[in-house]
Amino acid sequence: MRQALHLRFLLLLLFSACSGVPDAPAVSAGSESVVPAVQVWSHGAMVAVANPYAAEAAAAILQRGGHAVEAAIAAHAVLGLVEPQSSGLGGGAFMLVYERADGRTIAYDGRETAPHAATRTMFVPAGRPLSRLEAWQSGLSVGTPGIVALYELSHTNHGRLPYAQVLGPAIELARAGFEVSPRLAGFLERIAPFSRLDDNPATAAYFYPGGQPLVAGSLRRNPAYATTLTRVVEEGAAAFYTGEIAAQIVAAVAAKPNPGSLALRDLAAYEVKTAEALCREVAGQRFCTMPPPSSGLALIMTLGLYDRLIADRSPADAPQRLSAFVDALRLAYADRDHYVADPAFVGVPTGDLLNADYLDARVRQRFAPAVTPVPGDPGDVLRDAPIIQRWGRDSTAETAGTTHLSIVDLDGNAVAMTATVEGVFGSSRWVGGFLLNNEMTDFARQPELHGKLVANTVAPGKRPRSSMSPLMVFDAAGELKMVTGSPGGNSIISYVAKTLVASLRWGLNAQEAVNHPNIVARGLNVRVEIGVANGSEIARTLAAQGYPVQEREGENSGLHVIMVSADGLEGAADPRREGVVISIDAGSVSGNAASDVVSNIK
């Protein structure tokens, strides 16, 4: 049905058990940038994206010579149309951008922000916590969306093509119509009893025409979405954050039940934050990710802790590797849950948590399998000045309305972008052809525990903590080696860590690493995915070691990975979702308009 404009799909579905490649030694060092001697990039380009329509839109941009950032914007604008359960214009994102010419890796924080009128007790009125449904499907849950501002700023800083060409595929596809995917149709069938998606008039009309959910394979048009994006092209992000669209967003948030306080001034004041990526050396490789409020630091911690746990067990067998991975995750999660929040409001001890001396001490606190891990205290370890009592303990859950895309362009620039509306279909509130997020429920709904504020407590203008952790890996020469990330709520850390350990420590290729059974180790219980090859064996191994194992038939990962080798680019898309990989040969830049791709993907 779909052509790919001289592109080829690459979807590897083979799985293999952990190989016998020796584990790398543990090293942790500083964060100075490494600028490689720039050589001609000859590996071509690649996109790994959660839906074929979006992947082909991104590939068309790259074929025109567009930057990886422009391909990411094009892909995400299409994703907001074809998989609205996961992300869209009404949500936010973290975008990690690698510019090969100067070796910089830039972090764009397009995370949603709390309204100015938000209060720390907004989810506990009169001392009674709102139920999950009351909080999630409410106006209270909506934060100021960041994605449209992120589009504009990143395109301004990196773009090569006219904005109309970048957003053209999404606009034309919304007008012409797209085929409803089995995943979207399946969600619509299952979500109705647990949300207000089929009750709110606007979403009911779009997703449940005639009272019935959209059917897989049916054609769905969204002219309102096309109109919104057209206005963004013509007027810039101001069309979204001021004027008619902004007024409609505020009105939707203010509707009953449980209206929220998002106001016009919140939208008008929104700004994307930019910074150098958070980077550290581990075992001769450089890992770069988003700084807080992202949880990317937990991934770097996990690698450092894993290496230390396995260092005295060489050659380590499979059970030892598994237990080391589980314990590294448990330790990193405990610290993440306690310390990570918006650094503009909370002093996040990022440097302390990644300090080699602290990691050396933390592994000695390895908890017995049947004991619930608790956070460590880097202040006590490093300076004999405890900091753990500054905040109350937190274990906020995050639901999985999220997507991830990985892109490398024809010049070797790269993007790792994770985007979200938080829960599935966000808040179920609809404006201009898109859904509004429910990101405020990523804050701790109980603001105090044991008389102390939780670090991730709601505050006006604050960005909620996120498990979204796009990440890139570079080799010792500073050249790009890996682009990875995943959706999956608070399990994202486990999913992405799995791809890192499986590929960089266990010797699996990109697709094998993605296909490997997911192991989620946050808190006491260890979830093991048994519905894929070797999952049951892993569950039995960990149970025999004393871990409280919860067997899960499947997990909600959506990993998209690109790995770079001397032979070229190797991509992987998670078979648990609908993603694809498209490879583009070097020298294949064409003059076709990016919007022409629409005629090839209908």
C-alpha span between 327 and 330 (Å, rounded): 5
The residue type found at 386 is P
354: helix, strand or coil: coil
* Active-site residue flag, 402: yes
pLDDT < 50 regions, the chain: 1-36, 592-602
**For domain 8-177+221-274+396-601, which architecture applies?**
4-Layer Sandwich (3.60)
> Residues 331-357, buried b or exposed e (16+ Cβ, 10 A)?
bbbbbbbbbbbbbebbebbbebbbbbe
Entry pTM: 0.91
Q: Which of 87, 9, 6, 28 is nearest to 360 (CA)?
A: 28
Three-state SS string over 277-292 comes to CEEEEECCEEEEECCC
Q: Tell me how many degrees the CA angle 5-7-8 measures, rounded to the nearest 5.
A: 135
List, for residues 491-543, the tens digit of each pLDDT value.
Answer: 999 999 999 999 999 999 999 999 999 999 999 999 999 999 999 999 999 99
Structure tokens given for 396: 């906020």
335: helix, strand or coil: helix
pLDDT of residue 396: 65
Task: Locate the domains of the chain by residue range.
Answer: 8-177+221-274+396-601, 295-390
Rg (CA), the chain: 23
The CATH fold of domain 295-390: Serum Albumin; Chain A, Domain 1 (1.10.246)
- Strands annotated E in 212-342: 219-220, 273-276, 278-282, 285-289
| 459 C-beta neighbours (distance < 10 Å), count | 20
Structure tokens given for 327: 């314990």
Query: 402, 403, 441, 457: which one is catalytic?
Result: 402
Q: Which of 404, 458, 462, 430 is nearest to 578 (CA)?
A: 404
Cis peptide before 259 (omega within 30 of 0): no
